[in-house]
Amino acid sequence: MEKNLQHVGVGVGVKNSAVLAHELEGLGFHIKGKFQLTLENLDEMDVYFCEYKDLILEVYELADEYDENALSPIDSVVIKNSELEYKEYKLSYGLSIINVDDGEDGLKHFNINASDVKRSVAYFEKLGFKKAGEYYGMGNILLKLKESKDSSLQVGAIKHIAMDTKTIYEDRKDFLAKGVAFENKAVIEYLPFWDKGVVYIMTKGPDEINMEFNEILT
């Protein structure tokens, strides 16, 4: 079953999720939700869901540090907001949002750096993505892959892209049959977001280009 984008996971420093959330408000995002979590490796932390049109960024805190200047696999988010200047906006923690004059306001695509494009394409195709001109797409999401031989390629601000699903158990079974790799041994995990919580699985792609499949419980 074809799926649409649910959110994009963005990691920031400890106690700094509010900083990036407020920067995003300056780019036309609004705070759709705010939650507090207590995890094993962190004290209580705030998680913000920041929404612009059909794009939601999940801003959460990380205990580990990363190089904000390194070339990242999920490199940047491309949008159109006709009320802003058309340019690249470099936000805190290395988050890059590129505003382009192209069609209607909203999400355009994600720029992806890959050390081996063919290998990354095979991963996305197993998840249900199909070639769409110069992109690979599913539902309302487009990915633009660029080959990078940079040996310093490492995960940056954008940690994962999450697709909305209503069939998470069937998805897991299908992905396992196709040989897709997982974080946490394909365990379906729970988080107390929204009214009744969410369950999700995190697939593990080449260069740690990780795709999450997330079902909001009703």
Mean pLDDT by 10 residues, the chain (218 residues): 92 87 97 86 82 97 72 92 97 94 97 93 97 96 90 80 97 97 92 95 93 96
What does the pLDDT read at residue 72? 85
Residue 68: the pLDDT is: 72
| pTM of the model as a whole | 0.93
Q: Which fold has domain 5-216?
A: 2,3-Dihydroxybiphenyl 1,2-Dioxygenase; domain 1 (3.10.180)
Residue 91 contacts residue 24 (beta carbons within 8 Å): yes
pLDDT value of residue 71: 78
Measured CA to CA, the distance from residue 116 to residue 114 in angstroms comes to: 5
Is residue 56 within 8 A of residue 37, CB to CB? The reply is no
Instruction: Please check whether residue 134 is in contact with residue 121, taking contact to mean a CB–CB distance below 8 angstroms.
Output: no
Q: Say what the pLDDT of residue 40 is.
A: 66
Q: How far apart are CA 144 and CA 134, in angstroms?
A: 7
